[in-house]
C-alpha cells in the first residue's frame, strides 16, 4: 500500500472546532496527493468521545460525511492513544481486501477545551478502572513504577529521562507543527520541573493538545510505500504482564511488521516512537530491536537517537514536545516520516531516510501498532 498524501494541523491549544481542524488536515493531504474527494472510496477515522470537547457531537462518521460531502463507507475506529495507528492498520487491511483504490485516514481530537476533571476522566477510560484507578494508579503513576523498575534493573537514572525530553524539545523547536515550536526549554528547566510521580517530572510527561492529522492510502504506486504493518493488543493492566520493563505488544507488533517488510531493525533510518512518558522512549528502543534489553539508556547517552545521530528518533519532537492530541498522534508520526523521506522537513531535515518506522501505543502499553515505510525515490 502506498502513501499518496499527508496532512496535519499544528498541534496546540487552538480553539477551532473539530470540523475546522479535520478540514484543514484533509485539504492538506488532498493537495499533497493532487487528488479530490471524488477519488476517495472510503474513510477510516479515529477519535475519543468528542462529547468531552464541549461540542458534544457524537456520530463522527456522519459528521465527516457532512463536512467533506462524501457518500461512502466511513468506519469509526476508536482506540485511545493508539487510535491513529489502529485506524491506519485498519485502512491497510480494508484496502487489501476490497475493491477500493483510495482510503482517507483521519485522526482528530479537541481535548484541551474543557475542564481538567472532565478530560482526565475521558483519558482514564483507556486504563483499568475497577481495581487500579480506584487506588490511584493512573497513567503517570503506572509509568513511574515502570520507570522505577527499569532503573533498579538496568541502572538508568533520571538524567537519562531528562536527555530524552531535552532531545525532543530541541527537535520540536524546529517543527512549525509542534506545540513547542520556537519555545526553548533548557536542561535546567527539565531537571527542576515539578515532580508528578517520582521519578517522573513534569517535563517527562507528554503534553495534551488539540489537532488533526490525515493520510491518503492508495493501491496506486507513489514515492512512499508502507511495507510492514502490525497491531497487537495486550492486557489492560501492566501488572498483569510477566515483565514490567518491556511491552510485549510492541515487541510482537515489531516482529510482525519487520517480517512483512522483510527488513531488520538495523535497516531503520528514522523512527517516530510513542514517548507519552520519557522512559517509554528508552524502553521502546529495546522493544523495537534497536538494542538489547537494558541498553536503551546508552542510545540516549551517546547521542545515537539525536537528530544528527545514527538513528534519529522523534525528529518531530515526539508526543513530548510536538504534542499528544490522542487520536491524531499515530498518523502524525507517519506524516513526519513522509516529510523526512521527501526532503520536506525544513530545519529538522536529516539525511534522506530510506526506511522509517512509526510506533504508536494505547493505554498503558495495552495496544501497539508498528508501521514500516520505504522511500522509493
115 Cβ contact partners less than 8 Å away, ≥ 6 residues apart:
none
- Provide the grid cell at 21: 481542524
- Contact present, 57 and 110 (Cβ < 8 Å): no
Identify the active-site residue in 274, 324, 359, 371: 324
Phi and psi torsions of 46, nearest 5°: -135, 135
Q: Where are the beta strands (DSSP E) in the chain?
A: 2-8, 42-46, 74-76, 102-110, 195-197, 200-201, 210-218, 224-233, 270-272, 355-362, 367-375
- On the 0-12 / 13-18 / 19+ scale of CB atoms within 10 A, 48 is buried
Q: Report the alpha-carbon distance of residue 312 to residue 305 in Å, rounded.
A: 4
Q: Report the alpha-carbon distance of residue 153 to residue 151 in Å, rounded.
A: 6
324 has catalytic annotation? yes
Residue identified by cell 512509526 is 358
100 has catalytic annotation? no
- The b-or-e profile of 351-373 (16+ CB within 10 A means b, else e) is eebbbbbbbbbbbbbbbbbbbbb
Task: List the end-to-end C-alpha distance of the chain, in Å, as a whole number.
Answer: 16
- On the 0-12 / 13-18 / 19+ scale of CB atoms within 10 A, 138 is middle
Identify the active-site residue in 81, 274, 359, 371: 81
5 Cβ contact partners less than 8 Å away, ≥ 6 residues apart:
28, 29, 30, 31, 32, 33, 34, 35, 215, 216
Residue 199: asked if its preceding bond is cis (omega within 30°), the reply is: yes
Residue identified by cell 484543514 is 24
Phi and psi torsions of 313, nearest 5°: -120, 130
Positions marked active-site: 81, 324
Amino acid at each position: 500500500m502506498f502513501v499518496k498524501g499527508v496532512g496535519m494541523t499544528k498541534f496546540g491549544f487552538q480553539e477551532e472546532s473539530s470540523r475546522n481542524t479535520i478540514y484543514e488536515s484533509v485539504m492538506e493531504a488532498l493537495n499533497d496527493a493532487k487528488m479530490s474527494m471524488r477519488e476517495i472510496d472510503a474513510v477510516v477515522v479515529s477519535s475519543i468521545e468528542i462529547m468531552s470537547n464541549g461540542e458534544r457531537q457524537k456520530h463522527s462518521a456522519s459528521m465527516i460525511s457532512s463536512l467533506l460531502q462524501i457518500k461512502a463507507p466511513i468506519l469509526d475506529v476508536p482506540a485511545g492513544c493508539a487510535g491513529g495507528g489502529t485506524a491506519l492498520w485498519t485502512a491497510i487491511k480494508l484496502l487489501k481486501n476490497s475493491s477500493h483504490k483510495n482510503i482517507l485516514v483521519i485522526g482528530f481530537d479537541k481535548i484541551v477545551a474543557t475542564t481538567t476533571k472532565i478530560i482526565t476522566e475521558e483519558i482514564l477510560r483507556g486504563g483499568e478502572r475497577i481495581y487500579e484507578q480506584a487506588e490511584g494508579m493512573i497513567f503517570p503513576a503506572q509509568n513511574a513504577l515502570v520507570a522505577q523498575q527499569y532503573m533498579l534493573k538496568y541502572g538508568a537514572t533520571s538524567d537519562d529521562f531528562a536527555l530524552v525530553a531535552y532531545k525532543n524539545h530541541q527537535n520540536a523547536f524546529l517543527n512549525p507543527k509542534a506545540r513547542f515550536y520556537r519555545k526553548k526549554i533548557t536542561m535546567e528547566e527539565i531537571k527542576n520541573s515539578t515532580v508528578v510521580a517520582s521519578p517522573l517530572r513534569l517535563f517527562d510527561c507528554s503534553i495534551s493538545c488539540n489537532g488533526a492529522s490525515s493520510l491518503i492510502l492508495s493501491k496506486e504506486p507513489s514515492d512512499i510505500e508502507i511495507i510492514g504493518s502490525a497491531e497487537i493488543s495486550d492486557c489492560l493492566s501492566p501488572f498483569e504482564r510477566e515483565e514490567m520493563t518491556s511491552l510485549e505488544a510492541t515487541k510482537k507488533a515489531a516482529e510482525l511488521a519487520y517480517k512483512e517488510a522483510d527488513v531488520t531493525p538495523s535497516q531503520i533510518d528514522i523512527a517516530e516512537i510513542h514517548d507519552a512518558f520519557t522512559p517509554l522512549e528508552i524502553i521502546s528502543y529495546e522493544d523495537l530491536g534497536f538494542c538489547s534489553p537494558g541498553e536503551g539508556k546508552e542510545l540516549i547517552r551517546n547521542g545515537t537517537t539525536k537528530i544528527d545521530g545514527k538513528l534519529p528518533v522523534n525528529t518531530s519532537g515526539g508526543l513530548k514536545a510536538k504534542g499528544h492530541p490522542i487520536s491524531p498522534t499515530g498518523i502524525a508520526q507517519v506524516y513526519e516520516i513522509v516529510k523526512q523521506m521527501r526532503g520536506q522537513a525544513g530545519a529538522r531535515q536529516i539525511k534522506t531516510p530510506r526506511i522509517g518506522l512509526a510506533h504508536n501505543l494505547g493505554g498503558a502499553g495495552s495496544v501497539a501498532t508498528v508501521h514500516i515505510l520505504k522511500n522509493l525515490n
